[in-house]
């Protein structure tokens, strides 16, 4: 993958400024409190991993942070203020199971570009860059839905990066991929981070966590059980939940 196509992602000076904050966030559904008083800070330029057992609320917290769901209580702040339309545009998300448009790979990218108001000759140029970045140039005319899992995830990532987001959410982007595809996706994420994109990723893979993250937010039963640098949380856990999970004793969001 050529270095020049990285120009599509804006260079940013990484700072320790708070980019995204959750303040006492809660979410209830079906009479149950699924996220309970979560407060966290995502710093600009960081790579934050959200981890926890099944049912801990990892995907849910991602959706709340990205504004896909309204919280039952608490608030999410973007650069210290209530997120508006421009905040949404500055964020992007790759889902665990991305849904491709029922059209070609190129048409999927073109739609994403059109949603960002990019048309005409510029659209063709940007689409070409995105295809190149994702290694999908030879598959441009293929129906997106017949691509392999890894290829679809590369397309989803290219689509998410098209809007030059400042923050990229990823919900277990490699959970169903083989090692080779996983490695390709991780290198694309690394490249985006190198260009200044802040990363917030859900993963249950400890090896991936060590490769890809700086800080971990460990969730249990909808609450933050522990936060800290990767090595600290995974190797020297201070909370019972994180310790049980890393030792393989905690599989689901059950009572310890």
Partner 1 sequence: MLRRHLFSLAAGAALALGLAGSAQAQDQFIVVQSTTSTQNSGLFDHILPIFQDKTGIEVRVVAVGTGQAIKNAENGDGDVLFVHAKASEEKFVADGHGLKRSDVMYNDFILVGPPADPAGIAGTKDITAALTKVAETEAPFASRGDDSGTHKAELKLWKDAGVDAAAASGAWYRETGSGMGATLNTGTAMGAYVLTDRATWISFGNKGDYQISVEGDDRLFNQYGIILVNPEKHAGVKAEAGQAFIDWVLSAEGQQAIADYKIDGQQLFFPNAGG
Instruction: Using CB under 8 A, list all residues that contact partner 1.
Output: 63, 67-70, 85, 88, 93, 95, 98-102, 111, 114-115, 145
Q: Tokens 């809660």 label which residue?
A: 26
Assess contact for 16 and 184: CB atoms under 8 A.
no
- Least distance in Å: CB of 73 to partner 1? 16
Assess contact for 213 and 49: CB atoms under 8 A.
yes
- Least distance in Å: CB of 131 to partner 1? 18
CA nearest to 134, candidates 120, 148, 122: 148
Of residues 117 and 229, the one with the C-beta less far from partner 1: 117
- Least distance in Å: CB of 109 to partner 1? 12
Of residues 71 and 222, the one with the C-beta less far from partner 1: 71
- Least distance in Å: CB of 101 to partner 1? 5
Exposure string for 14-36, b = 16+ CB within 10 A, e = fewer: eeeeebbbbeebbbeeeeebbbb
Of residues 88 and 210, the one with the C-beta less far from partner 1: 88
CA dist., res. 202 & res. 189, Å (int): 13
Assess contact for 152 and 184: CB atoms under 8 A.
no
Of residues 70 and 80, the one with the C-beta less far from partner 1: 70
- Least distance in Å: CB of 148 to partner 1? 18
Of residues 158 and 244, the one with the C-beta less far from partner 1: 158
Of residues 79 and 88, the one with the C-beta less far from partner 1: 88
CA dist., res. 24 & res. 100, Å (int): 34
What are 202's strand-pairing partners? 50, 171
- Least distance in Å: CB of 248 to partner 1? 30
Assess contact for 103 and 117: CB atoms under 8 A.
no
Query: Dmax of the chain from CA atoms?
Result: 58
């Amino acid at each position: 993958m050529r270095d020049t196509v990285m120009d599509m992602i804006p260079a940013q000076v990484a700072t320790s400024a708070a980019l995204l904050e959750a303040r006492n966030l809660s979410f209830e559904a079906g009479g149950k409190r699924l996220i309970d008083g979560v407060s966290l800070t995502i710093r600009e330029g960081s790579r934050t991993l959200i981890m926890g057992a099944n049912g801990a609320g990892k995907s849910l917290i991602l959706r709340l942070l990205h504004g896909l769901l309204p919280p039952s209580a608490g608030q999410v702040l973007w650069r210290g203020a209530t997120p508006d339309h421009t905040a949404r545009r500055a964020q992007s998300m790759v889902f665990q199971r991305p849904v491709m448009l029922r059209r070609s790979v190129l048409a999927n990218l073109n739609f994403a570009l059109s949603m960002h108001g990019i048309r005409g000759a510029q659209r063709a140029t940007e689409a070409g860059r995105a295809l190149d970045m994702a290694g999908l140039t030879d598959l441009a005319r293929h129906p997106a839905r017949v691509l392999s899992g890894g290829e679809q995830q590369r397309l989803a990532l290219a689509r998410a990066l098209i809007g030059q987001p400042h923050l990229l959410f990823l919900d277990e982007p490699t959970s169903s991929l083989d090692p080779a595809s996983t490695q390709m996706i991780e290198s694309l994420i690394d490249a985006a981070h190198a260009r200044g994109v802040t990363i917030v990723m859900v993963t249950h893979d400890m090896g991936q966590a060590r490769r890809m993250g700086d800080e971990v937010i460990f969730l249990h039963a909808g609450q933050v059980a522990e936060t800290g640098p990767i090595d600290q949380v995974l190797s020297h856990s201070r909370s019972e939940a994180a310790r049980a999970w890393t030792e393989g004793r905690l599989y689901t969001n059950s009572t310890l």
